[in-house]
Structure 1
Amino acid sequence: MSKFNITDTVNTFSELGKHLAAPNAQLMDIIETERQYNAWFTPESVLTAVKATGDMLNKADLEKWLDKYDLTKGGNKKVGLVLAGNIPLVGFHDVLCVLVTGNHALIKASSQDARLIKYVLNKLVEIDNSYADSFSFVERLENFDAIIATGSNNTSRYFEYYFGKVPNIIRKNRNSIALLSGDESGEELAALGHDIFDYYGLGCRNVSKLLVPDGYVFNFFFESIEHFAPIIHHHKYNNNYDYNKSIYLVNRDEHLDNGFLLLKQDARLTSPLSCLHYETYTDVQSAQKQLQEQTDNLQCIVTTVPLKTQNQVVNFGQSQHPQLWDYADGVDTMEFLSQLS
């Protein structure tokens, strides 16, 4: 790739964004058939992810984002990327960061999400051929100068063992949480449904737990998310729902059930698929203390309550619509890449 030019970079990636925001027939064919390779990747989920990526790549935000960094130095490093595959195109932001910093992306794509990322990068090369030699898809990572690897708490130990000797970003499990005041409107709670159910709750930005005020009654919450009921018709989601419901019943665990979501009071941040944990709080200060204790395990907090926190705070319905500067785990990927020497 030629020397960094912010205008060219913005124009190229905003053009890619327009293509993703309004998919053509070829892309729609991939969107429609992804479920043949990954049952969770329904056309609705894949289209949501593709359009969200397209919306993220708008000219104004690209300019604002790239203007923060000195990208005239460095580059030309081989950066190994171990991409996750839990939701469609989840690894694209890491690839984007490597490319705009003038480095070469060695991409170990997830078997769960290999076709989409290849299509997007091929489209990028169609738009601007200078990126043709800026990435490679590999089965095995070797000869790299740095690593960005996304996985679970278990795989992170292996990542640290194998990749610990080079500059690295190694990501572990994280979850997201919603803090309710009890004064939310039906529209806000309906939007919260997207934070819970989009991508079937498989993403680290999906809400897995609620913090609610003492005495909170869930009737209005359940009424507001009723339009998400068709999620139960997805066979894998339904299997999880039936299994977790039977476990709760056999163990006589107190829980709430609206026919497609199980709600259980539980201190744990991570909840099983089709389930949502909740805890209560007495006042905002105590809620903030609970959140503070989970800082390193939280990807984002969904709320309209004013908070002092290191974690990213987003409005209802926005957890799965990150902006370019909303970095996973709060680690500035661009700063990391631009400092490689």
Structure 2
Amino acid sequence: MDVIKSRLEAFNKLGLFLGQFSRFEIVKNESVPYNELFFDGFLHQLKLAQEKNNWFTEDNLLFAVENWATALQKSNLETWISKENLKEISPKKVAIIMAGNIPLVGFHDFLSVLISGHSVLVKQSSNDKHLLPFLAKYLEYVEPSLKGNITFTDEKLTDFDAIIATGSNNTARYFEYYFGNKPNIIRKSRNSVAVITGNETEADFEKLADDIFTYFGLGCRSVSKLYVPRNFDFNLFFNGMYGKKDIIYNAKYANNYDYNKAVYLMSEFDLLENGFLMIKEDESYSSPIATVFYEYYDNLVDLKIKLYQDRESIQCIVSKGFLPDEIPFGETQNPKLWDYADGINTLHFLSKI
């Protein structure tokens, strides 16, 4: 069996393993390989991840796990890799610097490097250190040829052929300075926006609530900005958000809500709020936790031009009949394997290094 196929099989088995853990039930499936070694251990890692990072609630951790269990189905993996010619590559060592804003945020890069036939050198964020090394150990059991091809380090990165690094706009400048002489993908901060045309239903806004509140809005695919027509009735929006009202019972979220509300009130900014979410008119794309910015537009053609000009700052555009490549309401947090961050095809990059 060739390297690509054997690694695809390994990740498919990992998907079956992850499929035992969901928000609705956690059930041990005796047919999953090496469960006796890993099932209870993964439950423990999920608990450790919660204890280390209060943003990583059980619900958010299991939501991420569910998504990866779905993505790693064999049909999805095969469709994904069929889009690139990975047969001709010569194996390289690829370093990955991972963000830690949401659980397993660097897993797509990790998967991409290994399934391309390369070896991987991973530097994790301190905010998300528990899950991936454990899952890597599972992969080494189901596919022993991966041993020696997966390395985690806390040290300065050395001895690698290419790098994929994700961080803020500030850290991106640092990455470009240090790693600009190597083949690289360097990702900066991006945010996602929703375009409201006035034709939406309350059900659309209920779905939009998932795009806004999943992972507490910390992901780059989280909607942090609305574009709305003038005279838009925000009651429709707030009605759709109401189902997420219990988010305020998370202490970290509540602290951010209270702090940002106090700052806005002292600064005498105009804002609307409903007890767990504030909306504020602002031209920025990146809004603080518990806040969504909004901006009025006068016509959709000018708005399309603006969003195209600002495309380097935008990850997803959520809308209903506005753009051909829009994301439907409620779907930003369910990307396919071929929905690449920043629109950069990672597999294509890895096939050419």
**TM-score, normalised via structure 1 length:** 0.94
Q: Which residue of 2 aligns with 1:117?
A: 132
Which residue among 204, 207, 220 is the counterpart of 2:236?
220
Q: Which residue of 2 aligns with 1:301?
A: 317
**8 Å Cα contact 1:179-1:305 kept in structure 2:** no
- Which sits farther off after the overlay, 198-207 or 312-321? 312-321
Q: Which residue of 1 aligns with 2:19?
A: 21
- Look up the equivalent residue of 2:3 and give its one-letter code: F
The answer for unaligned runs of 5 or more in structure 1 is none
Q: Which residue of 2 aligns with 1:102?
A: 117
Shift of 1:282: 2.2
Distance 1:313 1:100 in 2: 28
Distance 1:276 1:5 in 2: 43
The answer for unaligned runs of 5 or more in structure 2 is 22-38
Which residue among 192, 196, 202 is the counterpart of 2:218?
202
- Which sits farther off after the overlay, 330-339 or 67-76? 67-76
Shift of 1:5: 4.0
- Which sits farther off after the overlay, 279-288 or 108-117? 279-288
- Considering only aligned residues, what root-mean-square deviation do their CA atoms show, in Å? 1.5
Distance 1:100 1:11 in 2: 10
**8 Å Cα contact 1:33-1:43 kept in structure 2:** no
- Look up the equivalent residue of 1:11 and give its one-letter code: E
Distance 2:4 2:216 in 1: 39
Which SS does the other structure have where 1:144 is aligned?
coil
**Residue 153, structure 1, aligned to residue 169, structure 2:** yes
Shift of 1:237: 1.1
Distance 1:305 1:120 in 2: 40
Q: Which residue of 2 aligns with 1:244?
A: 260
Shift of 1:12: 2.4
Distance 1:272 1:248 in 2: 11
Shift of 1:333: 0.7
Shift of 1:180: 1.4
Which SS does the other structure have where 1:225 is aligned?
helix
Q: Which residue of 2 aligns with 1:138?
A: 153
Report 1:250-269 matches (<5 A). Answer: 250-269=266-285
Which residue among 111, 121, 142 is the counterpart of 1:127?
142
Distance 2:4 2:52 in 1: 38
Q: Which residue of 1 aligns with 2:185?
A: 169
**Residue 332, structure 1, aligned to residue 345, structure 2:** yes
The percent of aligned pairs where both chains have the same amino acid is 43
**TM-score, normalised via structure 2 length:** 0.91
Which residue among 225, 244, 247 is the counterpart of 1:231?
247
Q: Which residue of 1 aligns with 2:56?
A: 41
Tell me the alpha carbon deviations over residues 82-133 of structure 1, each in whole angstroms, 9 at most, x when there is no partner: 0110100000000001001111100001111111111221122222222222
**8 Å Cα contact 2:4-2:116 kept in structure 1:** no
- Look up the equivalent residue of 2:41 and give its one-letter code: Q
Distance 2:48 2:120 in 1: 27
Which SS does the other structure have where 2:159 is aligned?
coil
- Which sits farther off after the overlay, 236-245 or 278-287? 278-287
**8 Å Cα contact 2:4-2:115 kept in structure 1:** no
**8 Å Cα contact 1:262-1:274 kept in structure 2:** yes
Which SS does the other structure have where 2:125 is aligned?
coil
Distance 2:104 2:321 in 1: 31
